[in-house]
Homo-oligomer: A and B are copies of this chain.
Amino acid sequence: MGVKERRDREKENLRQEILDAASELFAKKGYAHVSMRKIAEKIEYSPTTIYLYFKDKTDLLNEICEETFGKLIETVSLIEAESKDEPLECLEKGMRAYIEFGLKYPNHYEVTLITPIMDFLGKELHPYEGSSGQKAFEYIVRQVAGSMEKGQLAKGDVAAVSQTIWAAIHGVTSLLISHQDFPFVDQKVLIDKVIRTTIKGLRVDSLIEIEN
């Protein structure tokens, strides 16, 4: 009765083959320029076969992006493990890791974090609950809360502060990805400036606190 097992294995293999082919094309050309037919051609199956494994194109893309975003989670988890009890340090390193991740996988970043709304209007967009995106954001929340407790960041609304940080790193990342023609200052300089400015802006520096 090993037949079913073998068939399941074969199905899983093909599924992964589709995922890999799509991921490669997608990373190279960008979402808009990868058609279902081109993915099918690459794996040497008919286009409709893909629909036996994925509901539609956005479903396929979602799975690819979740897979890739897993790497970001791994990276920040590592940071957290290495610098336990240094939440502000974790925060800064995490911010840097996030931006570098975006620049390393610009197409994945684009689809999951830059574009998601209007192109998929009406469709239920990829659920936030349980997504890698959520885990990444929760990482920020955790470090912010920790930094406040240790008196390194000014106490306040943890959610608001976390979202402010997200806005900053998403801002610089998406700008660098989407506006490659713009005459940006040196990338490292800009990234550094954004991170430092944000943290300084949220920091409690005792002298100013006294003044207010």
Chain A positions near chain B (C-beta within 8 angstroms): 29-33, 106-107, 110, 113-119, 121, 125, 128, 157, 159-161, 163-164, 166-172, 174-175, 177-182, 184-185, 189-190, 193-194, 196-202, 205, 207-208, 210-211
List residues of chain B with CB within 8 A of the CB of A202: 197, 201
List residues of chain B with CB within 8 A of the CB of A29: 121
Q: Provide the main secondary structure of the chain A interface.
A: helix
11 additional A-B pairs beyond A115-B115, A167-B175, beta carbons within 8 Å, are: A29-B121, A114-B174, A114-B178, A159-B185, A163-B193, A164-B190, A166-B171, A167-B190, A170-B174, A171-B172, A208-B208
In the assembled complex, the CB of A120 is this many whole angstroms from the nearest CB of chain B, namely 9
C-alpha spacing A113/B174, complex, angstroms = 10
Query: Once the chains bind, are A179 and B117 in contact (CB under 8 Å)?
Result: yes
C-alpha spacing A190/B162, complex, angstroms = 10
List residues of chain B with CB within 8 A of the CB of A30: 118-119, 121
Query: Once the chains bind, are B201 and A128 in contact (CB under 8 Å)?
Result: no
Q: List 27 A-B contacts (CB under 8 A).
A: A30-B118, A32-B118, A33-B121, A106-B118, A128-B182, A157-B185, A159-B185, A160-B185, A160-B190, A160-B193, A164-B193, A164-B194, A167-B172, A168-B168, A168-B171, A168-B194, A168-B197, A168-B198, A171-B174, A174-B174, A197-B198, A197-B201, A198-B198, A200-B200, A201-B202, A205-B205, A205-B208
